[in-house]
Amino acid sequence: MRIGIDASSLPPTVAGAGRYICSLIRALAQIDHDNEYLIFAKAGTQNLLGDWPAENFHFAPLPNFSRPARLLWQHCGAGLHGHHNRIDVWHGLHYSLPYFTGPARTVSTFHDMAFFLHPYLYPPIKRLYFQQTIRRALATADAIVTVSQSTADDVRRLFNGRSGFAERKLRVVHSGVEAKFFSRVSAEHVERVKIRRGLNSPYLLFIGTFEKRKNLPLLIEAFSRLRRRGHQDLLLVLAGQPDNGRAEVERTIAQENLQDAVRCLGYVPDVDIMPLYHGAKLLVLPSVHEGFGFPLLEAMAGGVPVLAADNSAMRELAVDPEMLCSGDAEMWAKKIERLLVDHGLRQELIVRGRQHARTFSWQQTAQATLAVYESLQPPSRHAVPVRVVRAFDLKSLASSAATRNGIVPVMKISSSNGYGNGFEKICGAVLKTLAYADLFDYPLRAEEVHEGLLACDASFEEVQEALEAWENRGVIARTGPLFFIRGRGKIVAVREQRRQQTRGLLQKHARLIKFVIKFPFVRSVSLSGAAAFENSHHRDDIDLFVITAGKRLWSVYTALALLLKLMGKRRLLCLNCLVDLDHLSIDESDFFVAHQIAFLRPLSGIEHLIEFHTANAWTSAHLPQCHLRSADSLSAKTPALLANNGQPKGFWFKELAETIWSWRLFDYLERLVFGFYRRRIRRLTKHASAGAVVVEPGQIKLFTNNHRHRIKNALHQRLQQILKTELLEVENETSQAVF
């Protein structure tokens, strides 16, 4: 498909809907390498979208429109652009859809229904424009994406039964929270930002535009009551761009005589957002209505307690009733005071909020949005037309003429099993999963195909039927329980041989691995790479993934590296990837990293590995079945000779060493070691590709020989080879093809 995305409403400074636009486009570029995208945005906003790693994403620059000119383009010019560029699906990211879309299917994102529910909050012209735009999108769009269940419910309540509304159009696709908000910010960094911003006392934080909808006068009045109750050292920080509620905010501050206690920071760039969150005692969001509420999730991700108005999507994001407040300024003052002084409640909300925030990711948002595009199934204007045939009736897909002209027909699969069009995607994912494993000479059991199914959610029964269909056609074969690409039966013996080699390797060096497990501040150790799959060659090393305690990662890495070198085992045990408990979120979120994370094989600290998986929930967008793992299933994967039953022998020494190693002196040593290694590693790895080497206070990744691009190309070629062979065989079987 060729997908056009209207990002023309992206403002020069990103907030709210602008954050949705930027984050969705970046996440789509990470997960979708098959469809072609044209991003229509004003030339001056391209830098906000970042660099796209995918070659199938193209920036279509627009003039730096004034607002009237931009609205005119959205409704008239956009349709002409879409028709000229042969767009199959057009997605308007901010309500509006173009006229004259031709055969293209259309999708519109609805952020909220406040223009209908609270019309008094908006200037008349703006209100009337968006009301009309929303009504037209409801009538003409093929799909309506709502960023929350609350917005979807509002649409139903407002328009159900009216002409143009169809329930089938509504798709709830929650927005996400960027992985960076889960990272820890050093106390020094927080202090620097507070000093620069003049925040020399504890503070409450609000982040958002100064719209009337944000209900800031209520917050200011509640803050005034807190001050009168003795919280004289407390500040109120309002961060955000001015809007139609600015005058009312300034008037309320003056009425309450709070000019010295309320700090209006204006727009805050991303570099200061996280330190502001981490320095706050509480995030408050008293809005009359929110379509989603990014600040709530961002604050929860950073471990900051939140208090929001008990309405709209904020009820959806709040995981605990204590995070919500309704009523007047007095009620808000009481609730805020309780969250400031009740330390037990604060800690509980911090833990629950952080866990809840991990269930939202932009990768999941992008995957669900891509599913909306695919569900529309527009007729392609670039491919040869195909007839939908019964499952794997490939005889009707081959054409001598098509093959001679270099045209590969698109295979459509239908099924009478009740799965509908989704079965086509499952079959494709099953073949791709087997082809990927084939690159490593690794046949798969049916349950392993299901667990590692690439970017496709399916039941085990659906995977079994897809395997059977491919096997019946002769594309794949099996020996006993193991499936493999036809003609590759020799890898069954290879898998067993390497399984024995891996077990022998682990048994031979079990004491050395246990030494790493028992090392001070090491909290979890897992096998990675070939060892995790029991697919090691005779001379392979053992890749270990290590989770350490916070603020001791570099000390642990240095000490282990030196000791292993002294023992002559530095090249045997590869400590290529380490994270600490304060920096569990991995920023690099492509399929290859997801696969490594999902198939780590725990040796110790399973509870911390589960925490690591939770912090990187985005992996489920690439491997949907892997997020179903439990502590029991992970324990079952621990090799018996390395199983850690209770406290390991010598634990008293580890406890003593950690007590000493926790002294403040070692904080300085940690920073010194980090500074030295960062310069050294960066100098030695200049040749490495982008993203292959990570050198941060809480993360180490040293993939100096990064094979991901080679593997990606090899997978693409392998799939082409399989399908080409199949189509050529079909061509020999038939002289009449149906297209």
Q: Is residue 30 part of a domain?
A: yes
Chain centroid to Cα 59, Å, comes to 22
| 410 vs 292, more confident | 292
| 34 vs 299, more confident | 299
User: Which residue, 64, 62, 39, 36, is CA-closest to 50?
Assistant: 39
Is the same domain home to 184 and 112? no
Q: What is the pLDDT of residue 457?
A: 82
Lowest mean pLDDT among 92-101, 245-254, 375-384: 375-384
Q: Is residue 570 part of a domain?
A: yes
Is the same domain home to 343 and 205? yes
Q: How far apart are CA 494 and CA 481, in angstroms?
A: 15
pLDDT in tens, 462-502: 899 999 989 988 899 999 999 999 999 999 999 999 999 99
For CA atoms 513, 517, 521, 525, the dihedral sign is positive
Is the same domain home to 551 and 677? yes
The share of the chain scoring above pLDDT 90, in percent, equals 47
Question: What number is the average pLDDT over the span 271-283?
Answer: 94
User: Which residue, 608, 475, 591, 456, is CA-closest to 547?
Assistant: 608
The share of the chain scoring above pLDDT 70, in percent, equals 84
For CA atoms 156, 162, 167, 170, the dihedral sign is negative
Q: How far apart are CA 295 and CA 283, in angstroms?
A: 8
pLDDT in tens, 56-83: 898 888 888 888 888 999 988 898 888 8
Is the same domain home to 351 and 461? no
What the block records as the tokens of 597 is 């994370």
Read off the pTM: 0.57
Is the same domain home to 137 and 267? no
| 521 vs 379, more confident | 521
Is the same domain home to 480 and 549? no
Contact 135, 94 (CB under 8 A): no
Q: Is residue 421 part of a domain?
A: yes
Q: What is the pLDDT of residue 40?
A: 93
- Output the DSSP codes for 94-159: TS---S--TT-EEEEEE---HHHH-GGGS-HHHHHHHHHHHHHHHHH-SEEEESSHHHHHHHHHHH
3-state secondary structure of 35: coil
Helices and strands per DSSP (H, E), number in the chain: 31, 24
Q: Is residue 692 part of a domain?
A: yes
210 CB-contact burial (10 Å; exposed 0-12 / middle 13-18 / buried 19+): buried
Is the same domain home to 164 and 183? no
Is the same domain home to 222 and 340? yes
Q: What is the pLDDT of residue 66?
A: 84
Q: Single out the residue in 129, 152, 172 at which a domain terminates.
A: 172
Is the same domain home to 610 and 728? no
Q: Single out the residue in 134, 157, 172 at which a domain terminates.
A: 172
Q: What is the pLDDT of residue 645?
A: 47
Q: What is the pLDDT of residue 380?
A: 47
Q: What is the pLDDT of residue 706?
A: 54
| First-to-last C-alpha distance (Å) of the chain | 19
Q: Is residue 446 part of a domain?
A: yes
Q: What is the pLDDT of residue 397?
A: 31
Domains identified in the chain, total number: 4
CATH number of the domain bearing residue 432: 1.10.10.10
How confident is the prediction for the chain on average, in pLDDT? 83
| 460 vs 336, more confident | 336
For CA atoms 43, 47, 51, 57, the dihedral sign is negative
What the block records as the tokens of 441 is 């000479």
Is the same domain home to 329 and 422? no
Confidence class of residue 642 from pLDDT cuts 50, 70 and 90? low
Question: What number is the average pLDDT over the span 277-287?
Answer: 97
- Output the DSSP codes for 541-554: -EEEEEEE-TT-HH
Confidence class of residue 547 from pLDDT cuts 50, 70 and 90? very high
pLDDT in tens, 6-34: 999 887 777 778 889 999 999 999 889 88
| 667 vs 348, more confident | 348
For CA atoms 271, 340, 303, 556, the dihedral sign is positive
CATH number of the domain bearing residue 294: 3.40.50.2000
Confidence class of residue 704 from pLDDT cuts 50, 70 and 90? low
Q: What is the pLDDT of residue 374?
A: 92
User: Which residue, 186, 182, 203, 206, is CA-closest to 268?
Assistant: 206
Question: What number is the average pLDDT over the span 590-598?
Answer: 81
Is the same domain home to 48 and 146? yes
DSSP assignment letter at 77: I
Question: What number is the average pLDDT over the span 602-611?
Answer: 89
Q: Is residue 433 part of a domain?
A: yes
Is the same domain home to 626 and 725? no
Q: What is the pLDDT of residue 703?
A: 65
Q: Is residue 373 part of a domain?
A: no
Q: Is residue 586 part of a domain?
A: yes
Q: What is the pLDDT of residue 388?
A: 32
Q: What is the pLDDT of residue 730?
A: 45
For the chain, give the number of residues. Answer: 739
Q: Single out the residue in 142, 157, 172 at which a domain terminates.
A: 172
User: Which residue, 593, 611, 634, 602, is CA-closest to 550?
Assistant: 611
Question: What number is the average pLDDT over the span 370-393?
Answer: 56
Domain of residue 202: give its range: 179-358
